[in-house]
Amino acid sequence: MSFSNLVNDLSYRNRGDSNNTDRTVDTRQTRSQYSRAQSYVSTAATSVSISGDISSQLHGGYSHPLARAWQAERQLTKSMLIYPVFITDNPDEETSIPSLPNQKRIGLNRLVPFLTPLVAKGLKSVMLFGVPLHPSAKDTLGTAADDPQGPVISGIRLLRRAFPQLFITCDVCLCEYTSHGHCGILHEDGSLNNSLSVDRVSDVAIAYAQAGAHCVAPSDMNDGRIRAIKLKLIEAGIAHRIVLMSYSAKFSGCLYGPFRDAAGSIPSFGDRKCYQLPPGGRGLARRAIVRDIAEGADIIMVKPATQYLDIISDAKEIGKDLPIAAYHVSGEYAMIHAAAQAGVFDLKTMAFEATEGVLRAGASIVVSYFTPEFLDWLET
């Protein structure tokens, strides 16, 4: 281990210490690593014949913005950002979402004008969500999800024509389209019917891929859907041109509220606790990541982002040869807006700090509602 790794490792351990339930082991490890670090320093110091204490000198001229940027393993660029876009089935709609500041639900007639200035500023990728506004569009099977005239499939076609360079990702789920608001097809007792759900979700993914999406991202969490989608993509002869991004580690918590307002996907009964992970479930997340890589995922996603940095770093360790994405979700975004509004901090500084944390943990793709702002704030 190099000296800087060792020091990083030590400070990481010290910071984590107060949360560690097994303090004895951790302290002992920390102490032995500390003495290794000390002996490394004294060897390094003698070998270049420097006397005196240099080990405390960490301020090495990084007050300059460029030198500060060099400290990061990965710097945020426009290519890392995916912007979530909500497309409704009401063509002329352009409605603000009160709980999701600065975000809108957009109808198909407004979509191109809405995205044109963003593409001009360097927007590279969007993630499409369909929002059927008419209750009659919803049923127990989520039939509207892959309606050829529906908002997502029409949106894909429209965007491919209008912005040939734009990378189009589609969230794939049924919850926006089911009358009960759950992410799949249900048994009579209200629990998820996994095999029917996988069948349906994978059909929807193929329909989006065939309509021209570059990437499909199933967020339904049904077991086996990555494998089913990959097999259907192969069978359809289009696997070579579709990226399969798995929401592998999607945690159930209270950070999706504004999204559900935006997408109208609040479950009409119960919750999503049997198919989304419990916040403490690090091991389950690791198992889901291993499983989804084995099933053919091309990108692994962790969601939410800033509350789950350890999971992002696990994903990078397990999937070291795959890009890792993080979804900085609606609640995280709304929280930052609310706190900035209350004078707690500056919005831009916090947006960068939160996003850089996500990159530092191991992500190289961030799905973010801050994308329009970042396009103004970033040069490249």
In whole angstroms, give the CA distance from residue 215 to residue 128. 10
Residue 351 interacting entry, from Zn ion, ligand FVT, none, C-beta within 5 to 8 Å by type? none
Residue 175 marked ligand-binding: yes
- Closer to ligand FVT by Cβ: residue 208 or 259: 259
The identity of residue 318, as a single letter, is I
In whole angstroms, give the CA distance from residue 263 to residue 266. 8
Tokens describing residue 332: 């995280």
Q: Is 329 in the site for ligand FVT (CB under 6 A)?
A: yes
SS3 state of residue 107: strand
Q: Regarding beta strands 94-96 and 104-107, do their DSSP bridges make them parallel or antiparallel, or are they unpaired? A: antiparallel
Residue 330 marked ligand-binding: yes
Identify the active-site residue in 78, 250, 273, 348.
250
78 is catalytic: no
In whole angstroms, give the CA distance from residue 38 to residue 112. 60
Q: Is 177 in the site for ligand FVT (CB under 6 A)?
A: no
Considering only the stretches 17-25, 130-138, 285-293, 323-331, report the one whose residues sit in contact with ligand FVT under the rule CB under 6 A.
323-331
Q: Which of 83, 208, 251, 259 binds ligand FVT (CB under 6 A)?
A: 259
Q: Which of 256, 275, 308, 374 binds ligand FVT (CB under 6 A)?
A: 256
- Closer to ligand FVT by Cβ: residue 83 or 256: 256
In whole angstroms, give the CA distance from residue 186 to residue 167. 33
- Closer to ligand FVT by Cβ: residue 118 or 256: 256
In whole angstroms, give the CA distance from residue 173 to residue 284. 21
SS3 state of residue 139: strand
Which residue bears the tokens 């629990």? Answer: 191
Residue 329 interacting entry, from Zn ion, ligand FVT, none, C-beta within 5 to 8 Å by type? ligand FVT
Q: How far is the CB of 183 from Zn ion (least distance, A)?
A: 3
- Closer to Zn ion by Cβ: residue 202 or 219: 219
The 10 Å CB-count burial string (b at 16+, else e) for 63-101 is: eeeeeeeeeeeeebebebbbbbbbbbbbeebebebebbb
- Closer to Zn ion by Cβ: residue 103 or 219: 219
Which residue bears the tokens 């069948």? Answer: 199
Whether cis (ω within 30° of 0) applies to the bond prior to 304 is: yes
Considering only the stretches 157-165, 238-246, 329-337, 350-358, report the one whose residues sit in contact with ligand FVT under the rule CB under 6 A.
329-337
Tokens describing residue 15: 């910071």
Q: Where are the alpha helices (DSSP H) in the chain?
A: 3-16, 23-47, 65-70, 108-120, 151-162, 194-211, 225-235, 257-263, 282-294, 309-318, 330-341, 347-361, 371-377
The identity of residue 163, as a single letter, is F
Q: Applying CB under 6 A, what is the total number of residues that bind ligand FVT? A: 8
Residue 183 interacting entry, from ligand FVT, Zn ion, none, C-beta within 5 to 8 Å by type? Zn ion
Q: Is 171 in the site for ligand FVT (CB under 6 A)?
A: yes
* Number of Cβ within a 10 Å radius of residue 145: 26
Residue 31 marked ligand-binding: no
Q: Which of 154, 219, 306, 368 binds Zn ion (CB under 5 A)?
A: 219
* Number of Cβ within a 10 Å radius of residue 194: 17
Q: Is 173 in the site for ligand FVT (CB under 6 A)?
A: yes
Considering only the stretches 29-37, 140-148, 309-317, 324-332, report the one whose residues sit in contact with ligand FVT under the rule CB under 6 A.
324-332
- Closer to Zn ion by Cβ: residue 125 or 276: 276
- Residue number with the shortest CB distance to ligand FVT? 259
138 is catalytic: no
SS3 state of residue 146: helix
- Fill in the per-residue mask, 187 to 226: x = in contact with ligand FVT (CB under 6 A), - = not in contact: --------------------------------x-------
Identify the active-site residue in 303, 316, 320, 348.
303
SS3 state of residue 46: helix
Name which of residues 165 to 204 contact Zn ion (CB under 5 A).
173, 175, 183
Torsion of CA 229, 232, 238, 242, to 10 degrees: 0
Instruction: Extract the annotated binding site for Zn(2+).
Output: 173, 175, 183
Contact residues: ligand FVT, CB under 6 A: 171, 173, 219, 256, 259, 329-331
Instruction: Extract the annotated binding site for 5-aminolevulinate.
Output: 260, 272, 330, 369
Residues assigned a catalytic role: 250, 303
